[in-house]
Structure 1
Amino acid sequence: MKAVVVGAGYAGTFAANRLARKVRTAEITVVNPRPEFVERVRLHQRLAGTAAAAAPLTSMLRPGITSRIGTADRIGDGTLTLEDGTGIDFDYAFLAVGSTARPMPGSVPVGTWEGAEQARAGLAALPAGSTVTVIGGGATGIETAAEVAEARPDLRVRIVGSSVSGGFSGRAHERVRSGLAGLEVDIVDDRVTEVTDGVVHLRSGAALASDLTLWAIVSGVPDLAARSGLRVDPEGRALVDRYLRSVDDERIFAVGDCAAVPGARFACALAAPQAAHAADALALLIEGRRPGPYAPRYVARAVTLGRKNAVGQFTRPDDSLRRAHFTGRSAAALKELASRAGKYAARTGTGA
């Protein structure tokens, strides 16, 4: 049985390693645009210069799994076609191309490796007293603003979003905002309409000077599924059945951010569970057994506020927020542990 995994983020790497453990005779090829596994949850640390965020892809894959550097152009009819015109035949495929960012002109995306590297260089070149503006009031924006503020206290840092920390509620919401304020991050609750010539324009009519503007909003997914003729949702995610197979081609599983799973949001926390379920489902189907349906189950939301502080809020399985939350150094330690566990799970195909 030949399997191809498109994308080597958390979901793709986990799926490849899990399948190798479950189906020993499988010939597995992982296709990725770069020879590194990128820890997306650490890109804000990478750009701030506080941590590495990549490891050789070969170090993340089990022996026997083939890695191929290339960019997918189309997938379907049992073949993955790359941009260089070559093809890889498969019996089954895992579509795991993740999500992406579509930055506003004049801003630098922090949610991609290339963007984080550009932001890192731009940040390093800023003299003391410069202003950094982070656009996006969600987890990526919060963590980026906090990391930059802690690493470069000589800069002025602001975060702009229609509702900064709106993904939390009650005391957790307050603790996130107070944590940002404690790092002297200016919080602006407004919507950005345009970035031109070093000026961030807001819906309210305000104009804010900015020496480096960072785009910290996840917005859609790569268009491989749509380009290949697979049905997608309005955000471009591949429509899947209850086993995480494409509704158009049962040989193709979609996992992670690029899968349109009801109730799922863009989150690294869902990468391993989805990849595990898809790999296990394929193993069962090969044996002639019927797998159970997949359903997302959430536990908590959490953001780091620099290296020594974090805020987490527990959720119900459907992702609705509970009142209980945790903060401070212990929360930062738990968040770090979760980040390390995510990489370990991807490398071993276990733990989900």
Structure 2
Amino acid sequence: MNIVVIGAGYAGTLAANRLRKKAPDAHITVVNPRGDFIERVRLHEQIAGSGTAARPLTEMLAAGITLETASADKIGDGTVTLDNGRDLEFDSVILATGSTANPLPGAIPVGTWEGAEQARTALEALAAGGIVTVIGGGLTGIETAAELAEARPYLRVRLVSDTVAGSLSTGAQRHVRSTLGRLTADIVADQVIEIDGTTLRLGSGAELDSDLTLWAMFSAVPDLAARSGLAVDADGRALVDATLRSVSDPRIFAVGDCAAVPGMRMACATAAPQGAHAANTLVRMIKGREPQPFSLGYVGQGISLGRHDGLQQVTDRADTASRLFVSGPIAAFVKERVCRFAATASRTGNTVWLRGPKR
């Protein structure tokens, strides 16, 4: 059996390694545009120079898995066409291409490896007093602003967003704001609507100077699914059934950020269980058993606020924040352990998760 996994992030790498153990007779090929596994949860560390987010895929993929360092151009009827001219025949595909960003012209996306490296290089060129603006008040934007403010205290860091930490409880939002203030990162409650060189034009009509502008919002997915004729939602995510199989072609699974699964947020906490479920389902089908529906319940949201502070927000299984959260060094320690577990789970193919709430 030929299985092609497209994308070697958390979901794709975990799925491939899990399949290698559970279906040892299958021929598994992983297609990825670069030879590194990127820990997206550490890209803010990569940018600030406080950590690294890349490790060779040869260290992450189990022996016997074939790695194709290329991009998939199209998924056809039983064939995946690569941009290097090769065609890979498949019996099943796991589509795990993740998400990307559509930044305003003039802003550098921090959620991609290429963007993170570009931002790191640009950051090194800034003199003392240089202004760095982070656009986006979600968890990625908060982590980026906090990391930069702590690691580069000689720079002026600001966060621009209508809302900051909107997925967290009121108390947790207060802690985020106070911590950014302690790190001397300013918060501007507005929207950037245009970037003209070093000038940011805001929705309110105000203008801000910025020497380096970073885009910390995920707003798009690669168009491989749509380009291949698969059914997608308005955001380009592949439409899947309850088992994570494409509604257009049951041979194709879609997992992680590129899959349209109701109630799921973009996170490694989502991607890893979906990758594991797709692998489990494929094994069930190989053995002639019926696939089972995917179910996932969340337990919380975690963010780092520099290297010595963090926040762990407790949620219900539907990912709704409760009043309970933990902050400070303990939360930073927990966040680091979660990041390490995510990488280890991908490398070993082993992970655990809770079932979702009853509906």
TM-score using structure 1 length: 0.99
Following TM superposition, by how much is the alpha carbon of 1:76 offset from its aligned partner in structure 2, in angstroms? 2.5
Match of 1:35 in 2: 35
The match for 1:310 is 310
Residue 128 (structure 1) aligned with residue 91 (structure 2) = no
Instruction: Report deviation, 1:292.
Output: 2.0
Q: Tell me the residue number matched to 1:79.
A: 79
Report the Cα distance in structure 2 between the residues aligned to 1:268 and 1:308, rounded to whole angstroms. 22
Inter-partner Cα distance in structure 1 for 2:19 and 2:239: 22
Which shifted more, 83-92 or 9-18?
83-92
1-structure distance, mates of 2:253, 2:292 = 15
Tell me the amino acid that sits aligned with residue 275 of structure 2: A
Shift of 1:85: 2.5
Q: Which amino acid aligns with 2:318?
A: D
Work out the CA distance in 2 between the residues paired with 1:324 and 1:290: 40
In structure 1, the residue matched to 2:290 is 290
Letter in structure 2 aligned against 1:304: S
Residue identity matched to 2:236: G
CA distance in 2, matches of 1:195, 1:158: 15
State whether residues 233 and 260 of structure 1, in contact with CA within 8 Å, keep that contact through their aligned partners in structure 2: yes
Gaps of 5+ in 2: 353-359
Over aligned residues, Cα RMSD in angstroms?
0.8
Q: Counterparts of 2:231 and 2:4 in 1: how far apart (Å)?
A: 20
Q: Distance in 2 between matches of 1:116 and 1:165?
A: 22
Aligned to 2:214: 214
Residues 187-211 of structure 1 deviation map (CA, whole Å, 9 limit, x = unaligned): 0111111111101111011100000
Deviations 1:116-151 (A, max 9, x none): 000000001100011000000001100000000001
User: In the alignment, is residue 331 of structure 1 matched against residue 331 of structure 2?
Assistant: yes
SS in structure 1 at match of 2:292 = coil
Alignment partner, residue 103 of structure 1: 103
Where does structure 1 differ by over 6 angstroms across 4 or more consecutive aligned residues?
none
CA apart distance, 1:165: 1.5
Partner residue in 1 for 2:154: 154
Q: How far is the alpha carbon of 1:213 from its aligned partner?
A: 0.4
Quote the Cα distance in structure 2 between the aligned partners of 1:96 and 1:36: 15
**Does residue 231 of structure 1 match 2:231?**
yes
> Bigger CA drift: 288-297 or 35-44?
288-297
Q: Quote the Cα distance in structure 2 between the aligned partners of 1:73 and 1:42.
A: 28
1:253-301 per-residue CA deviation (whole Å, 9 max, x = no partner) reads 1111001011112112111100111100110111111232112311101
Instruction: Find the residue that maps to 2:225 and give its secondary structure.
Output: helix
Tell me the equivalent position of 2:259: 259
Partner secondary structure for residue 21 of structure 2: helix
Per the alignment, residue 248 of structure 1 pairs with 248
How many residues align structurally? 352
Give distance in 1, aligned partners of 2:144 and 2:91: 41
Match for residue 356 of structure 2?
none
> Equivalents in 1 of 2:281, 2:197: separation in Å?
51
Contact 1:36 1:54 survives alignment (8 Å): yes
Other-structure match for 1:182: 182
Task: Name the aligned partner's letter for residue 186 of structure 2.
Answer: D
Counterparts of 1:115 and 1:280 in 2: how far apart (Å)? Answer: 34
Give the secondary-structure state (helix, strand or coil) at the position aligned to 2:166: coil
Consecutive unaligned residues of structure 1, counting only runs of 5 or more, are none
What TM-score do the two structures reach when normalised by structure 2?
0.97
Percentage of identical aligned residues: 59
Q: Aligned letter for 1:345?
A: A
Task: Answer yes or no: is the 8 Å Cα contact 1:263–1:296 preserved in 2.
Answer: no
Q: Distance in 2 between matches of 1:288 and 1:322?
A: 42
1:101·1:109 contact (CA, 8 Å) conserved in 2? Answer: yes
- 1:14 and 2:18 equivalent? no
Give the letter aligned to residue 221 of structure 2: V
Please give the alpha-carbon distance, in whole angstroms, between the structure 2 residues aligned to 1:4 and 1:58.
17
CA distance in structure 2 between the aligned counterparts of 1:197 and 1:5, rounded to whole angstroms? 40
1:34-61 deviations in whole A, cap 9, x for unaligned? 0000111101000100111101111100
Question: Bigger CA drift: 165-174 or 8-17?
Answer: 165-174
> How far apart, CA to CA, are the structure 2 residues paired with 1:150 and 1:164?
19
